[in-house]
Amino acid sequence: MNERSSILPILPLVSVAALLVGLGQYVRPMADDFCAAGLVRDFGFLGAQTERYTDWSGYYTANLTQMVGAVAGPRLMFPIMCVLFSSWLALLGLLYRSTCVGLAVGIAVLMYSPALVQVLYWQDGMGENLLPLVLGAGACAIALGNVTSRRLIGVWLLVFAACGCHPAVAVLLIAGCCCMFLFEPTWRSRWPYLAVSVAGSLIGESLVAFAPGNANREAYYPEHPAVVWAVQQAVAESQSLVRDVLPAMVAIGACAALMMPRRPCLPLRQRAVMAVGVLIAAYATAVLTIALVWYAEDQAPEARSLFFGVVALIVGSAWCGRLLCPSLLRRPMTVTQLEASALVALLCLCQGAPQLNQWRILAPAYASAWGRMDAVLRSATGTATVALPPVPGGLDNLQKGGWVNDCVAGAYGLKGIHVP
């Protein structure tokens, strides 16, 4: 009976996770993935990273993962996606001490992302968005143990690596450390972990912000706007994000309250103040991650740039549920746990259905077309300019003389590619 009671609540969420993994079988290189492959061909594995960092992007960890993906080849994209996705869910289950809450948070973060396909099924997107979550969760898992020098080094390395994926990661990590110190009294005795995390975040963010290649990248965008204006635009943008994510926040808060181990029962007033503080911090963090994009690009963020704002809101709602747990529960309620889990799964499916359905239609066609294209390009000679038929899905923007053409040609060592 106890085993059945522990497994039953996770079944709806496991079903959603299985759906996401099943649709991942169609992942193939797209757009920027070919640029990384071309750099490796031209400069070698190590030289490609130096070239990318000094000529285009300061995302040193994301650059590394792109080159690793280029060396590993397309056939390993699906296994890599599965490893990252399963690691993310497993680490969350460990951190929340509840498999169900870990599944709920991990799946909701992805399904409520405005760019689910780019985050989960695109190699470049996985490196910039999903990988830093895995690294950050891994750092938190290490910090659960006693403070030792080896653990401190491990936490610093993982945090430093995570911040090299995207500049918004440092905002998330620093905000998380501040919240842990303010709202989790048990973590104050582990302040060295929080200190090395903040230090690693600041150093990593500095390496990203002051990379030599940023000048070339920023040349494609207008000059930086005023900081205040960027924050104002981010606040306006975040309001619609909160409206979209709010149902999942409520459901996940209920899951956390029902399923996470109860914390020492502090006075209700104190816990209520802490819960409000966490929500304010989560919203402020979401605003800052969006403001970074407005400031860097002086334009509305692309859909995938809102991803880290979703992370802040979802994680904050689970934290609130844990804080309020002793006031909401007086006895175990297995049926309610199942209902809360099913509600999260249903909300996630409804939110992610349009993106998943589009991927379900386009991805098989693109995977098939990519296979034919790959065979043609591999058989061509290095001096050839190859004519390709239109490719649906991930390379539907192939245009004569466009940057995607150049990247695909470079990946295969060809003179050029054009679509008649």
The residue extents of the domains of the chain are: 2-379, 380-420
Q: Is the pLDDT of residue 384 over 70?
A: no
pLDDT value at position 335? 44
- Cα 415 from Cα 383, distance rounded (Å): 5
Quote the distance between the C-alpha of residue 107 and its chain's center. Answer: 11
- Write the DSSP symbol of residue 387: E
Query: Which of helix, strand or coil describes residue 184?
Result: coil
Q: Is the pLDDT of residue 1 over 50?
A: no
pLDDT value at position 157? 94
3-state helix, strand, coil in the chain (%, to 5): 80, 0, 20
Location of structure tokens 């994301």 = 62
CB 139 within 8 A of CB 159: yes
- Cα 343 from Cα 317, distance rounded (Å): 15
pTM: 0.88
Query: Which of helix, strand or coil describes residue 415?
Result: coil
- Amino acid identity for residue 17 in this structure: A
* Token code pair at residue 185: 């009294």
Average pLDDT over residues 344-362: 89
Average pLDDT over residues 378-402: 64
Categorize the per-residue pLDDT at 302 as very low, low, confident or very high, splitting at 50, 70 and 90.
Answer: confident
179-196 tens-digit pLDDT: 888 887 777 888 889 999
Give the percent of the chain with pLDDT over 70.
Answer: 88
Location of structure tokens 């150049």 = 406
Q: Is the pLDDT of residue 44 over 70?
A: yes
Q: Any idea of the CA torsion for 269, 275, 277, 281, to the nearest 10 degrees?
A: 180
60-72 tens-digit pLDDT: 999 899 888 888 8
pLDDT value at position 333? 46
One DSSP character per residue, 66-109 reads HHHHHHH-GGGHHHHHHHHHHHHHHHHHHHHT-HHHHHHHHHHH
